[in-house]
Structure 1
Amino acid sequence: TASMPESDIPLLQIARRFNLDRNEQLILAAAVGLDADPDLMELIGRLGQPRRVTVRAVQRMLAPCGVDFTATRALFKPDAPLLSSGLLRFAVHPDTEEEALTTALLVSQDCAETVLGTSGREGQEESMRDDSTGQEPPAIKERPGFMTAGPGNIPPAVSRGRSRTHRPAGASAEVKPGNMKLAELVLPGEVMNALNQFVQNPRALDATLASWGCTEMMTPGPFSLAVFWGEKGSGRKTAAEAVAGELGIPLVCVNPMEKARGPEDSVKLVVSGLETACAVGGILMIHPADPLFSQEYEDDLCPGILEGLSRHSGRVIMVTRHAPPASHPLGAACSFPIHFPRPDRDTRERLWRRLMPPGVPVDDEIDFGRLASAFPWNAGRIHEAIRRGVRRAAGRPGSGNVLRLKDIQFDEGPGTAGASGSSIPSEIIAPSVRLDSVALPDDLLAKVHEILAAAEHRALVLEKWGFGEKYRTGHGISALFYGPSGTGKTLTAEAVAGELGLPLRVVSAANILDKWVGETEKNTTQLFRTASEAGEVLLLDEADGLFGRRVSNSSNNSYYINNHINCLLSEMDSFRGIVILSSNRAFAMDRAFDRRIRWKLRFPMPGPEAREAIWRLSLPAGAPLDPDIDYADLARRYEFSGGLIRSAVLKAAYAAAAEGCAIAMRHLVAAAETETVSRRARRAMGFAPLAE
């Protein structure tokens, strides 16, 4: 800056904009220097001060400049320019002047970049102007983006008026604002009770142990450790932010695996995060913390982590996928092991309603209750589905866009391998068929409605009535559709998915079986778990090739056959979705499968009444039809399955389109006759009988 005109020196620009006097300029320069230069911070530490930016550290640094801090303590009051403008901010609001001397000071990121010249000239000038008008602010307190100092504030983005994650210079931790409250969370009651206890009385466990005389079981230090464990997307990190917000203090986030070349580096990152949390008066969140519970850390490095924790008097949160083992030193030090379970049906409905942006127009076909019943998703998955759906709806061409069911229902359109996370060749169908489009005998239709009723009320029976806890397995819906080809098995499966508002995944058994040892079992596990996670109706076509009987151990291939059948049995037990098996014939399945498949529906060849209904339903409403069509006569003359009828109808439509006229009775009869000839020809194929 020595060669700069005085008007271009960044610190002087800030001083003019915010009416800073000489002492305030020196204070701001010292604070920025301490924040940016680890060597200066180290020097302050050698003088016996905490290694963080504080009023006292700034005082030590500026002592040679003759700054009288006794007379200028008023410069650190909330209404003074340095704090009211947001240039500096206390990490935790001090209650007394004495506390203000040692409370950590945080430097605004934009201020630091401007003073150090790292944000660029254009950015510096822009950051000092009003965001809405581009003009210089007329007074300090009218400057948009600068918030009044108060408890729990952290550095704002002063040039844009929105809070921003702050990473102190040279630190490995991120400091985030606690913008949420516990009341905003949608979690089960027992989880909320544990979180409230962690906020209000983190030492309750130790107090109880002390009253019982079990002092050797107390936490080895003044810290309070909570482990938030559960699957990805269960709300663990959001809950940590809400805990910080409830206390009005920042959340310090550390990833022990970030740039770590080994366990030693991970421990250093954790200890550094503890120091940062202590400096800013915040809560430390370690995520992901699962590696810290491994054997590799327990033997040699866990003592280092516990030593760092023992010097920390605040709250610490570890975020893991699994429960902390009580035998591990960190698990033993945990006072609050809080499990974040997969939400039940009612909680999922609340999540759908809470996470849906209020300004998004929603189509009447979207029923949050049905979505909650259909998709067993956690908060993270629901949020992602809403985000994806809103973007699709907003990008749809045309006016009057609304969020539709199909926008949030399916990850992808009809596709094959790799869709929705499965590598097995399959087809995902967005159902366009309902039961009123399928002609079925009354007794068969009644059984299909039984399946739908079970699927609709599964959450009530398993979750509210307690059957899910009573019976550990068998929470899924399973059915077998068997009968001759073309009798409507696949169409009915699609109608079931359509009635439930779920995607249909169609997989052939041949695509699951594999010649390599163990691959069939791997495919089976992946398929069932993917369908369960995605909330899909799973249709296994040609199931007789997969669901056979186990064989005697004396057989050469008994090990491989029995292995894949045992794997199927296990997956059927744990499956929580809807699976439909389809086969062209009744087959001899293992008795264990027979017990697990609750509905077995035989699809017969349709009778005259059913055939007449199929002829009618096979002709779309938009097709031009001649009034001479006699559906009853077609049903009497041709004893076709539903598949053959649809084939004949399509041929007749092509013939009528070629003539440029409506579809008439003659077109349908001609098409049906060709199907009859084809059937006779197929029967005649093969070797003729040998002559005597």
Structure 2
Amino acid sequence: VEGKATLLRARLDARVAATRAAGMNLPRLEQLRVRLELGAFEVDVLTLLIGATISPVIKEIFSQDVRLSSLGLSIGDVLMTLCPSFREQVAHRHAFYASSPLVQRSILIVVRGRVSSGAADLTSFSVGVDRRMIDWICGLDTEVGELIEGSNLYAPQTEFEHVVMPAETKALMLRTVESHAALQRWSRSHRSELSGIWDYGQGVTLLLCGPSGTGKTMTANALAKRLGKKLLLVNFDLAFGGGAGGSTSESQLTGLFREAELNDAVLFFDECEALFAQRGAGGSVALTTLLTELERHDGLVLLATNRPFDLDEAMHRRITAMFEFRKPDQEAREAIWEHHSAVGLPLAPDINLHSLAARYQLTGGLIKNALISALLLALGRSEGHPLLSEADLVEGCQLQMRGALQIQVFTDRAVVRGGSDALILPATVRARVKEIVQVEQARQVLQGAWGFHTDLHSEQPTSVLLVGAAGSGKTRVAEAIAYDTGKPLKRLSFAQLNAAAATMGNRSTRKDENAVQVFFADARLAEACVVIDDVPGVICFEGDDDDGASRSAMLKMLLQEMRRFPGVCILTVETTRHLSIYAHRLPSALIRSVRFVLELPLPTETERLRLWNALLPPAVPLASDVDLKEVARKYHFGGGAISAVLYRSAARAAMRRGEERQLQQADLMLVCEEEWEKTQSAVSEMVERSYV
């Protein structure tokens, strides 16, 4: 028998050598032996256990032993079958230890105490091969996505040259991953010197962090393609986060790392927010397993998240390098537009991609969505010969801007309705608004490629002081700046901020905690445009009383945080007087802290008529006597008052029946009179407070 076995081994070795010499794919058991550096005994263990599972001949041999047929094979049975002497049996017990490559990777499944639950002898433990491994070795593959929800193994097609990111970051990332193979070869050649020092932890784990749509998934695909490997994509939240169907077990998690190793794949965990959140909440068995596997794994692992600040020390220790993905600047956006436009889309020849990149602050993912939206519009006009016009692309961009701004949810969030192109203001004022937007849009270029991020330069916030009477358009200007810069709006009045500070001061146990810091910290996390309304409460009424001192202290904290804020911060002042009349009363610290001072005049008659027409919904039924030109001439309202008048007038009309159920001139005039009286009372009160 031993002679036959020796002869068969020689024949198999010769066939493997011939297959390797011919450059053909090796048998999978041989691939596994090479990859895990298995010994001959470990290969025999796998062969025996797989044969006992799928071979009728071996099954028949073992079925003659009643004990084996009913209880399955134990480690002792395997040792006695493969090792003729007791000395060899003892020498090969290590193949079943928890630290052995087969058990560590869950290829062998060892179950304590086959005969008795209290048994402690290793030889009494049941042993078998993971069913997924049996299928893989025998060539009966099952896609990993069918076994673990939220996972997918595939060969990516994205070229790394198409990834748009700073050249330095791109070079560092490539250098890190392409040197990994050299690290592994060097470690093998110096194994004896490194024994006990580098026995594990020779893999590379990269953290890709940044907002959604900035290219993290695309980069993972491109890196795998560059390395000539498959990508095993795992949506962590879906598979492990307790979301829809998220119930992956510890063994399946270990199996993912084994799957990546067997297929020589890059392992990419996407949506890792659930991982970091659970670490902060005390962790779980699955997360502990993940940390252990990250340390054992010798391959490349990528983690993607938009919450890198949630990393704890245990996770941070396992990260080889972290790469931040920021929203693209204008130059990067233009490159993304050009890349997407070069894939055969039918674009009109007069499309200005430079203008689109400058105008709309979209990430790469949103630019792709904008192109799809534009293509749908073109197909709606002509399915056979669609042609994307610039108007289609503009509408697609506007859809993405509105969607991105609406989806962000945080405290004190305000709804943004449109950009600067929709403002009804004098041309000079609109030009100033566009200048403010351009300064903020240039931030990424200035602080990135042009080096204004160094310690020699302060944070340089885009700080704005908006001055004007009620109805002059301060709210719409703030919304337009937020819209054009692609940021959500975080809004609070100065009085609310002051009240929040008092409330927090009463309950806070930390001396350094205040409402202003919390407000700006939230705005940083949301990358929001900050608006503080009604600042005159501190400017016009400073005094020696406690309230005046409190407001003055609040202003100092506000200006301090504003100077450190890396974005747009808008302060609004409501007044009926010209700025030149009371400019000398403004605190000098306020003047030094703002970069732009913009005074908004009340709308002229022509602008008021445009506001009436713009704010009146087309679906409102109008009586024949409605004369908006007359209303605009008679009543000097701003946009807010006009909107309120239209709503209340339409409400009166909606409650009527029949032919009378339409907006009439009498409705408008009646409500306008009521609004005018209310406005005059408010103005009188403000003047009285200012001069008395």
Give TM-score, length-normalised by structure 2: 0.53
CA deviation digits over 1:246-302, x for unaligned, max 9?
Answer: 3443334568886699xxx9986654433333333333445646589999899xx98
1: distance between equivalents of 2:236 and 2:574?
A: 52
Q: Which amino acid aligns with 1:349?
A: E
Q: How does 1:37-52 map to 2 (within 5 A)?
A: 48-49=42-43
- 1:177 paired to 2:154: yes
Match of 1:225 in 2: 204
What is the CA distance between 1:599 and its match in structure 2? 1.3
Q: Which amino acid aligns with 1:277?
A: A
Aligned with residue 527 of structure 2, among 516, 532, 535: 532
Distance 1:574 1:371, change over 3 A: farther
SS at 1:429 equivalent = coil
- 1:166 paired to 2:145: yes
What is the CA distance between 1:480 and its match in structure 2? 0.9
Match of 1:244 in 2: 224
Q: How does 1:372-411 map to 2 (within 5 A)?
A: 372-373=357-358, 378-379=363-364, 386=370, 402=392, 403-411=395-403
CA deviation digits over 1:229-248, x for unaligned, max 9?
Answer: 42353444443333333344
What is the CA distance between 1:424 and its match in structure 2? 2.2
Distance 1:187 1:50, change over 3 A: farther
Whether the 8 Å contact between 1:356 and 1:386 is mirrored in structure 2 is no
Q: How does 1:38-187 map to 2 (within 5 A)?
A: 48-49=42-43, 57=50, 61-62=54-55, 64=57, 166-167=145-146, 174-181=151-158, 182-187=160-165
Match of 2:260 in 1: 277
1: distance between equivalents of 2:351 and 2:411?
A: 30
Whether the 8 Å contact between 2:517 and 2:561 is mirrored in structure 1 is no
Q: Which amino acid aligns with 1:438?
A: L
SS at 1:465 equivalent = coil
Distance 1:362 1:639, change over 3 A: same
Match of 2:174 in 1: 196
CA deviation digits over 1:637-673, x for unaligned, max 9?
Answer: x99676799799989x99xxx9x9x99xxxx999999
What is the CA distance between 1:598 and its match in structure 2? 0.9
Distance 1:277 1:671, change over 3 A: closer
CA deviation digits over 1:595-623, x for unaligned, max 9?
Answer: 3311123346x7xxx84654675675999
What is the CA distance between 1:304 and its match in structure 2? 10
1: distance between equivalents of 2:643 and 2:169?
A: 57
Q: How does 1:310-321 map to 2 (within 5 A)?
A: 310=296, 313-319=298-304, 321=307
Matched-pair identity in %: 18
Whether the 8 Å contact between 1:479 and 1:599 is mirrored in structure 2 is yes
Which region of structure 1 is more displaced relative to structure 2, 222-231 or 287-296?
287-296
Q: Which amino acid aligns with 1:200?
A: E
Q: Which amino acid aligns with 2:594?
A: I
Whether the 8 Å contact between 2:211 and 2:327 is mirrored in structure 1 is no
2: distance between equivalents of 1:615 and 1:313?
A: 69
1: distance between equivalents of 2:612 and 2:636?
A: 16
1: distance between equivalents of 2:519 and 2:565?
A: 12
Which region of structure 1 is more displaced relative to structure 2, 470-479 or 595-604?
470-479
Distance 1:155 1:464, change over 3 A: farther
Distance 1:275 1:473, change over 3 A: same
2: distance between equivalents of 1:548 and 1:187?
A: 48
- 1:420 paired to 2:397: no
Q: How does 1:426-575 map to 2 (within 5 A)?
A: 426-431=414-419, 434=422, 437-439=424-426, 447-448=432-433, 450-455=435-440, 457-469=442-454, 473-490=458-475, 492-493=477-478, 508-509=493-494, 513-514=499-500, 516-517=503-504, 520-521=515-516, 524-525=519-520, 528-529=523-524, 532-533=527-528, 539-545=531-537, 562=553, 566=557, 569-570=560-561, 573-575=564-566
Distance 1:46 1:254, change over 3 A: farther
2: distance between equivalents of 1:254 and 1:681?
A: 63
SS at 2:503 equivalent = coil
Q: How does 1:645-664 map to 2 (within 5 A)?
A: none
Distance 1:685 1:198, change over 3 A: closer
Q: Which amino acid aligns with 2:416?
A: I
Question: Which of the two has greater helix per residue?
Answer: 2
CA RMSD between the two structures: 6.8
SS at 1:428 equivalent = coil
Distance 1:210 1:292, change over 3 A: farther
Whether the 8 Å contact between 2:446 and 2:452 is mirrored in structure 1 is yes
What is the CA distance between 1:571 and its match in structure 2? 5.2
Unaligned stretches of 5+ residues in structure 2: 1-26, 30-38, 60-138, 243-247, 506-513, 577-581, 651-659, 687-692
Q: Which amino acid aligns with 1:541?
A: D
Aligned with residue 581 of structure 1, among 572, 575, 596: 572
Match of 2:6 in 1: none
1: distance between equivalents of 2:186 and 2:552?
A: 56
Match of 1:347 in 2: 332
CA deviation digits over 1:161-207, x for unaligned, max 9?
Answer: xxx75355xx7994511323433433332333234334533154688
Q: How many residues align?
A: 517
Distance 1:356 1:268, change over 3 A: farther
2: distance between equivalents of 1:601 and 1:507?
A: 19
CA deviation digits over 1:30-71, x for unaligned, max 9?
Answer: x9xx9xxxxxxxxxx99843998x9995699437289xxxxx
1: distance between equivalents of 2:292 and 2:366?
A: 35
Match of 1:595 in 2: 592
What is the CA distance between 1:491 and its match in structure 2? 5.2
Q: Which amino acid aligns with 1:243?
A: L
Distance 1:493 1:185, change over 3 A: closer
2: distance between equivalents of 1:350 and 1:611?
A: 42
2: distance between equivalents of 1:555 and 1:60?
A: 85
Q: Which amino acid aligns with 1:584?
A: T
